[in-house]
Amino acid sequence: MRIVSIVGRHAEGPVARLLLALLLVFAPRLALAQHLLVPMDDDQQNHLKAYGLTYNALKAGMKGEWFLNYRGGAFLLPDSPELRRRATLDGVTVFPTATNFVVARFPDARTTFDALRDARILVKNLHGWHPLLANCLRITVGTPAENDAMLRVLKPLP
């Protein structure tokens, strides 16, 4: 869902009202699309049981995503009371999420931002907002075709 179509500008007046109206219309739908992020980096308390949580979710017919180059190969699983309970009992670190974007650090955020923006990929440069966001970009997760277009832009970049 693309609510904000103006990159690098502030929405004011009628545009801001339109964006707010769209947000209010689609917000209930977004609330239903929550997931659990299962990191596999140093934040994970129990890597073996985290793999088991993911395996059992897939075995039960749930859909999952594997982010090979994010947080040590993190998994994104549907948020369900049973998965939360199992994660808690097994000491698996999970982070609830309901976003349609990812924040990632790049060697040269400005160059990457420019390349993505020029390819009409919805992106926000977070560099300079806070020291922890140095060289970070917020990239919208879209349709498979939009994500493929983003990956084609990122592949040749450093």
Query: Which tens digit of pLDDT belongs to each residue from 57-66?
Result: 999 999 888 8
Residue 8: closest CA among 88, 156, 107, 116? 116
Residues 139 and 122 in one domain: yes
pTM score above 0.75? no
The answer to whether residue 30 is domain-embedded is: no
The H-assigned helical ranges of the chain are 13-31, 47-59, 81-90, 109-118, 144-154
Instruction: State whether 74 and 127 are in the same domain.
Output: no
**Whether residue 83 is found in the same domain as residue 110:** no
Residue 48 lies in a domain: yes
Statement to judge: residues 93 and 106 lie in one domain:
no
Q: Using one digit for the tens of pLDDT, what is the confidence trace for 11-26?
A: 344 544 554 444 444 4
Rounded CA-CA distance 126/138 in Å is 7
Domain that holds residue 137: 101-154
Residue 50 has pLDDT above 80, yes or no: yes
User: Is there a contact between 62 and 74 (Cβ–Cβ < 8 Å)?
Assistant: no
Question: Do residue 90 and residue 105 come from a single domain?
Answer: no
pLDDT in tens, 95-154: 877 667 778 888 888 999 999 999 988 888 988 888 888 888 888 877 778 878 888 888
Last residue of some domain: 80, 97, 114? 97
Q: Residue 76 has what pLDDT?
A: 87
Q: Across-strand partners of 35? A: 78, 97
Domain boundary (97, 119, 141) is at 97
Q: Is residue 29 in a domain?
A: no
Max CA pair span of the chain: 52
> Looking at residue 79, which CATH number applies to its domain?
3.30.70
